[in-house]
Chains A and B, each alone.
Chain A
Amino acid sequence: MTKTNTDSIRRSVLGAALALTAGFIVVPAGALHAEGGTVLKSVPSSDLAILDPIWTTAQITGEHSFLIYDTLFSIDSSGMAQPQMLESYSVSDDGLSYTFVLRDGLTFHDGTPVEAADCVASVERWSKRRPDGEMMNAYGAKWAVVDARTFTLTLDKPYSNVEAGLGDNARPAFIMRQEDAATDAFEQIKTAVGSGPYMFDEEAWRPGSKVVYHKFAEYVPRSEPSDGFAGGKVAGPDTIEWTVIPDSATAVNALIAGEVDMVISPTPDLLPLLDADPNIETMTLSPIGFQGMLRFNSLATPTDKAGVRKAINLVVQAHQEEYLSAMVGLPENYRVCLTPMVCGSPYETMVGTEQFTDVDVKAKVAEYLEEAGYADEPVVVLDPTDQQALHSMILVLAQQLRDVGINVDLQATDWGTVSKRRTTKAGPAEDPNGYNIFPTWWGANSMLNPITNVPLNTAPGGENWYGWPSDETLESLRLSFADARTEEEKQKIVDDIQQRFFDVMPYVWVGQYFAPMGYRTDRIDGIVSGGTPVYWNITLKD
């Protein structure tokens, strides 16, 4: 190496070091922030990796879809479905024919008008992958285009949840262009063109890092005031920017430092930090939150015996608060709830729950196990250590089951492996991937309605959700909910379902917990509550 080269390198290194030092000392944070008074910066609940809301049930894809797609119906703050894209609709007296008329002026982001054919294709695709749609199909649903703005639905027998199903707050029938909706329901659509208040900027999308939406100038909101997800969806900020921050502590620090305006899913241990900041508020988007769940493999020994499942359930219900406390910490973040049909829901019922209170847990568990002929077979419990709440839940479970004499085989793994292993029907004795219990969680919105409560399906034949519990009586009760015409009838059915549930025990529910979001009160106002985070009607303060 020559002297000149050495000097040159030395100068470069010195220059870079000086520049680095200068940056360290003098660059003010304000100068480092992207500018733009009409940019709302949010940290989403997770990375947006899939754009198709029918292909996946991932919550983040739902959040994305509510921004760019519109829906035929929306649910208002009282839980009632209200027309959203529809100017009007009518139902025949016998409940077998529906006629829907679209609002005038609805336009897709590519400039083409929204027509009845788009709606029919979208609903038909949705109905192949979502419980409400599948139920409508089972009731003989036939969709037909009448003219550009009118379409119809005919059924073989009345179905009570048509409007609420189409407008569901979590998995509604998002309306896509006919060409997109024609895609097989088991293949991903390749575009993200909707008719909602915001447009997806595919060029700016950086999976794992950034997602950008722009206000859709042609969107015409309903004239009614916003009420839950119903009413006018008014786009406020010109641009919505999602910054994916995988580490919750960093996301919270970014919110405190004013780099972002909202954080959708701060971990519970960091909420006190947000509460301590006068410019930040926390808000629970869903008043009924989420339900923790332990799902049995009902085909595998020993959880194939109802007695063993009931024993495990009793252990959990008798100590439910300990599980919730381990999962989400502070009491304001959870609610002890002894009904699987969700506390605070329209169908909340305490029928049969007295068996979980004032009981000698050890003695009752021993009785259940003896009746079931439990012979100390290992109960394989999957523990996804990368899911903090579920991991905590499982650690408490393992210890408490051991305390009552159940032989627990705790198998630590990650969520990806749990997702695969839970598809294994064979028990642990026959297949190394076999299991007896895996943990998960569900939005309580889905669990309160027997039709959308997927794990409640106990149809014999092994094609229901993982765990494959089988009970014709419970399934028949569940399906009868769709036939009920009055709220009284529905409540009676839910009471009966719960009684039978406690005998069959398809899963263990673990109370309810809440996941508050955090936002800067000095920056934004008007956040819509309703479960899924949505971004319409938000106004920026400066």
Chain B
Amino acid sequence: MLSYILRRLAATIPTLLIVSLFIFSLLYIGGGDPAAMLAGGEASAVEVEKIRETLGLNDPYLSRYMDWLTAALQGDLGQSLYSQKPVTELILQRVEPTAMLTVTTMIVVLVLSIPLGILAAWQAGRATDRAVMIFAVVGFSVPIFVVAYVGIYFFSVQWRLLPVQGYTSPFEDFPDFLGHMVLPSLALGLTLSALVARITRASMLEVLSQHYIRTARAKGLGDRPMLLRHALKNAAVPIVTVIGLAVATLIGGVVVTETVFAIPGVGRLTVDAILRRDFPVIQGVLLVFSFVYVLVNLAVDLSYSLFDPRIRYR
């Protein structure tokens, strides 16, 4: 197992190199000029050119890439062309809100979707099953921003129960943190819950049709132990896969939620950097994202053996 983990981690190095080259090339050939954005609307082409020269943006492509890569290998992802703050500092400032949003959303997802999926599979074909599936279809179909704005309108503007926007660290003020996380987590969690509930239902239905379940039933095993102890564990692999993908998606794809609720997370950092053409920040963030994706995938793969003893890693 350990050697497998080490091999998987070692395999991230070429992956990250390819990703970095790809990102760098994309920014190089893509539209946009950070110097023009930095100078502001009134600057002349001559002024923009001087700024471009100052920032080294006229240097040859390979030379710029090698300079960046050499620094990155030493842990230096450069500094923002705008705020002049180190990219690592900017990312670290944004990691906590995104991580916390991911955690609270996953709590919502797990609390909602797994029981609903099990319930639907258990009551397959009945009214409960249909109700859960309607929830799944609606939940997956309604855009996150609609849920977010409706939530803000009622819970924040009309009833004044929850804040409209912002983020507070749980290490500073836990109740305040919870208040700020409720609406974003529900808005984001609704879509994912619908997805996970469907997968849970499908996976459970497949397991419930197996012979050993029929045998267990014939031996008089009750519904609860049969569902939770025998069926759920064996249905877990696809569910965990989807949850793993959901976590990876949340880490990099919560831009809409972070924007609507003004949560200063990594998603917004990325989008702001792309719109401004803040190349060092884009490169740094995407590199970190890639690494996290690789780690999440590894964690999901390793978790399979917990649910299915037949899976062994060498």
Contact = CB atoms under 8 A, between A and B. Distances in A.
Contacts of A413: 31
Interface string B26-62: 0000011100111111111111101100100000000
Contacts of A253: 152-153, 156-157, 164-165
A419 B260 contact: no
Interface stretch (B14-22, B103-111, B126-134, B193-201): B103-111
B69 interface: no
B256 to A, nearest CB: 9
B228 to A, nearest CB: 10
Interface in B90-116: 90, 93-94, 104, 107-108, 110-111
B179 A29 contact: yes
Interface string A351-383: 000000000000000000000000000000000
A463 B46 contact: yes
Interface stretch (A160-168, A183-191, A491-499, A518-526): A183-191
Given A56-B39, A207-B83, A1 B306 contact: yes
B38 A416 contact: no
Interface in A452-496: 454, 463-466
B146 to A, nearest CB: 12
Nearest to A209: B264
Contacts of B164: 250, 253-254, 257, 259
B185 interface: yes
B143 interface: no
A422 B276 CA distance: 16
A440 B153 CA distance: 34
Q: How large is the interface on A (under 10, 10 to 19, 20 to 34, 35 or more residues)?
A: 35 or more
Q: Which of A24, A249, A425: most chain B CB closer than 10 A?
A: A24
A138 interface: no
Nearest to A462: B45
B191 interface: no
A50 B275 contact: no
A105 interface: no
Contact of B157 (A28, A186, A244, A257): A257
A243 interface: yes
Interface stretch (A12-20, A117-125, A306-314, A507-515): A12-20
B83 to A, nearest CB: 4
A23 B175 contact: yes
A280 to B, nearest CB: 12
A47 B272 contact: yes
Contacts of A250: 152, 164-165, 259-262
Contacts of A104: none
A247 B264 contact: no
Given A20-B108, A186-B47, A27 B179 contact: yes
B161 A207 contact: no
A88 interface: no
Given A57-B40, A463-B46, A246 B32 contact: no
Nearest to A457: B44
Contacts of A244: 262, 264
Contacts of A425: 45
Nearest to A28: B161
Given A210-B264, A247-B260, A50 B82 contact: yes
A184 B54 CA distance: 10
A207 B111 contact: no
A426 interface: no
Interface string A24-59: 100111111100000000000001011100011110
A207 B275 contact: no
Contact of B165 (A49, A254, A414, A464): A254
A402 interface: no
A17 B275 contact: no
B30 to A, nearest CB: 8
Contacts of A30: 160
Contacts of A440: 41
Contact of A416 (B51, B93, B276): B276
* Most chain A CB inside 10 Å of its own CB: which residue of B179, B274, B276: B179
Contacts of A465: 42, 44-45
A129 B156 CA distance: 46
A49 B264 contact: no
A246 B31 contact: no
A393 interface: no
A519 B84 CA distance: 32
B165 A245 contact: yes
Interface of B: 31-33, 36-48, 50-51, 54, 80, 82-85, 90, 93-94, 104, 107-108, 110-111, 149, 152-153, 156-157, 160-166, 168, 175-176, 178-182, 185-186, 259-262, 264, 268-269, 272, 274-277, 306
22 contacts: A1-B306, A13-B107, A19-B178, A24-B186, A27-B176, A27-B179, A29-B156, A31-B175, A49-B80, A49-B83, A55-B51, A57-B39, A205-B83, A207-B80, A249-B260, A254-B262, A416-B31, A416-B37, A416-B275, A419-B37, A423-B33, A454-B44
Given A188-B84, A417-B32, 14 more contacts: A16-B104, A33-B163, A50-B83, A56-B38, A58-B40, A184-B54, A209-B264, A257-B156, A257-B163, A386-B275, A416-B32, A416-B276, A420-B32, A454-B44
Interface of A: 1, 13, 16-17, 19-20, 22-24, 27-33, 47, 49-51, 55-58, 61, 129, 184, 186-188, 190, 205-210, 243-247, 249-251, 253-254, 256-257, 259, 386, 413-417, 419-423, 425, 433, 440, 442, 446, 454, 463-466
